[in-house]
């Protein structure tokens, strides 16, 4: 009986020293820094930021509004899409109900209006062509007059040179010399006026050409409208067919899709938190213009902390994916939290310089990512942490 009691006492002491979690305090530990899983919150649509509610360090809930963009243009898009949907719906209902006499009369009026537009465009074309002819004549006449005025100017300038020579020799009076100067000035004025007339005639000619092109385009549009109105009138007279109804139904569905898209774009002007967490950074201010895809906030999920450590190649058999490990931080001495190995690198690398001493940097290590499953309320990003590995079970390997 005495041996049994002694054995029980020794077993209890061993259990107490090893800890209930099964992590041996004598096992070598791995060190790293607690990291948070950062989530960027981006603008799915663009616009001016009208409201900002999110602040750095704020604890947020999923769906909580953080900022808002200007909604005016998106509201207009919704209204436009809704009107198009209502129009498509009305046409479909009218086709299902059958054409009425008033609809036929309206179709006849549309054809007549299109015919009138064609005649108006043709008249405008004839008028513009006449304008081209007149502008061409005015341009040619002004050019001819300009050439004559230029010859006269050249003649008077030569005469002025001769008169000046005679005046300097005393062969003619100063009055005769001044008279020749006045003739040169008049010829120069005439040339300038005719050059302006030529430029104006050229501009009128170009304008008339543009009017002809516009009239031709208007006539083409009017003819297309007339053909469409005539086709619609034929359908009204014959009554809507199954093909017509299917086409109108497809048009209504397309209008519904555009309305849904416009409403979705309007909804995206509210920037919300995608999950529970803490805002780490804010990259936008009220009054700024956010482009589509711009990063507005950066947050971390409240329940997603991880720790990245590096294990030497010689100890690789002590770690495997899914393994539960102990985690200790300096802020809570004597307290061990739990984590789970979620990633074990398949490729060795040299020890990072910020992890080991210079003597250890040449050793090959494997990266290990541990997801923290306990103590999120106490453990914070940036804390240094030690990982306590349990002894591997017999036969357990990588």
Residues 177 and 133: their CA atoms lie apart, in Å, by 45
Residues 174 and 283 in one domain: no
- Contacts of 4-7 with CB under 8 Å at 24 or more apart are none
Q: What does the pLDDT look like over 298-348, one tens digit per residue?
A: 988 767 788 889 888 888 888 889 999 999 998 888 899 999 999 988 887
Domain final position from 239, 269, 289: 239
Q: Which of these, 223, 9, 270, 258, lies nearest to 117 by C-alpha position?
A: 223
Nearest to 31 by CA among 274, 352, 258: 352
Residue 7's alpha-carbon distances to 1, 12, 16, 279, 391, in angstroms, are 10, 9, 14, 55, 24
**Distance in angstroms (rounded) separating the CA atoms of residues 320 and 21:** 18
Look at the chain and report how many structural domains it folds into. 2
Asked if the structure places residue 9 within a domain, the reply is no
In terms of phi and psi (left: phi > 0; alpha: psi -120 to 50; beta: otherwise), the region of 22 is: left
- pLDDT tens string 6-19: 333 333 333 333 33
146-175 pLDDT, tens digit per residue, is 899 899 989 989 998 999 988 888 888 989
Whether the pLDDT of residue 76 is over 90: the answer is: yes
Nearest CA-CA partner of 21 in 390, 367, 319: 390
Would 395 be classed as within a structural domain? no
> Do 105 and 226 lie in a common domain?
yes
Answer yes or no: do 234 and 301 share one domain.
no
Q: Is 344:321 a contact under the CB 8 Å cutoff?
A: yes
Query: What CATH number corresponds to the domain at position 295?
Result: 2.40.30.170
- Which of 28-32, 56-60, 80-84, 88-92 holds the top average pLDDT? 80-84
Is the dihedral angle over the CA atoms 276, 282, 286, 289 positive or is it negative?
negative
Q: How many Å apart are CA 131 and CA 120, to the nearest integer?
A: 16
Q: Given this model, what pLDDT does residue 7 score?
A: 38
Is residue 351 within 8 A of residue 301, CB to CB? The reply is no
- Measure the CA dihedral 372/375/380/385, to 10°: -60
State pLDDT tens for residues 246-275: 888 899 899 999 999 999 999 999 999 988
The CA R_g of the chain, rounded to the nearest whole Å, is 45
Q: Which helix (H) or strand (E) holds 196?
A: helix 174-238
167 and 206 share a domain? yes
Last residue of a domain, one of 211, 239, 267: 239
CA 105 – CA 112 distance, rounded (Å): 11
In a domain, 2, yes or no: no
What is residue 140's predicted lDDT score, i.e. its pLDDT? 87
Up-side HSE of residue 305: CA atoms within 13 Å toward CB?
24
> Which residue range forms the structural domain that includes residue 334?
19-68+277-388
Beta strands in 3-101 (DSSP E): 29-42, 47-52, 59-60, 65-69
* Identity of the highest mean pLDDT range in 74-78, 141-145, 312-316: 74-78
- Domain annotation covers residue 271: no
**What CATH number has the domain bearing residue 184?**
1.10.287.620
Domain termination site, one of 210, 239, 268: 239
Q: Is residue 260 part of a domain?
A: no
Residue whose structure tokens are 């516009």: 214
């Amino acid at each position: 009986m005495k041996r049994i009691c002694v054995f029980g006492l020794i077993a209890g002491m061993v259990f107490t020293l090893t800890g209930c979690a099964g992590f041996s305090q004598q096992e070598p530990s791995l060190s790293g820094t607690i990291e948070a899983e950062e989530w960027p919150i981006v603008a799915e649509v663009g616009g001016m930021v009208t409201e900002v509610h999110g602040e750095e360090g704020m604890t947020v809930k999923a769906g909580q509004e953080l900022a808002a963009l200007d909604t005016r243009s998106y509201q207009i898009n919704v209204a436009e899409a809704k009107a198009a949907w209502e129009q498509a719906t009305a046409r479909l209902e009218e086709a299902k109900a059958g054409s009425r006499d008033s609809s036929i009369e309206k179709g006849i009026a549309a054809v007549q209006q299109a015919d009138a537009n064609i005649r108006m465009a043709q008249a405008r074309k004839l008028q513009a062509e006449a304008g081209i002819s007149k502008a061409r004549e005015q341009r040619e006449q002004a050019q001819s007059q300009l050439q004559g005025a230029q010859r006269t100017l050249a003649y008077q300038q030569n005469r002025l040179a001769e008169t000046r020579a005679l005046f300097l020799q005393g062969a003619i009076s100063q009055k005769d010399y001044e008279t020749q100067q006045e003739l040169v000035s008049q010829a120069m004025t005439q040339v300038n006026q005719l050059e302006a007339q030529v430029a104006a005639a050229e501009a009128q000619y170009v304008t008339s050409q543009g009017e002809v092109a516009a009239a031709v385009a208007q006539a083409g549009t009017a003819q297309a409208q007339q053909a469409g109105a005539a086709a619609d009138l034929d359908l009204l007279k014959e009554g809507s067919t199954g093909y017509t109804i299917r086409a109108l139904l497809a048009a209504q569905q397309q209008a519904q899709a555009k309305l849904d898209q416009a409403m979705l774009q309007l909804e995206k002007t509210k920037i919300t938190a995608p999950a529970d967490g803490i805002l780490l950074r804010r990259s936008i201010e009220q009054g700024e213009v956010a482009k589509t895809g711009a990063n507005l906030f950066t947050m971390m999920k409240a329940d997603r902390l991880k720790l990245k450590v590096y294990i030497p190649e010689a100890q690789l058999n002590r770690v495997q994916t899914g393994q539960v490990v102990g985690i200790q931080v300096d802020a809570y001495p004597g307290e061990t939290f739990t984590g789970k190995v979620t990633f074990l690198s398949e490729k060795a690398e040299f020890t990072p310089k910020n992890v080991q001493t210079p003597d250890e940097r040449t050793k090959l290590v494997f990266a290990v990512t541990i997801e923290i499953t306990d103590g999120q309320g106490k453990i914070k990003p940036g804390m240094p942490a030690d990982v306590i590995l349990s002894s591997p079970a017999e036969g357990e390997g990588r």
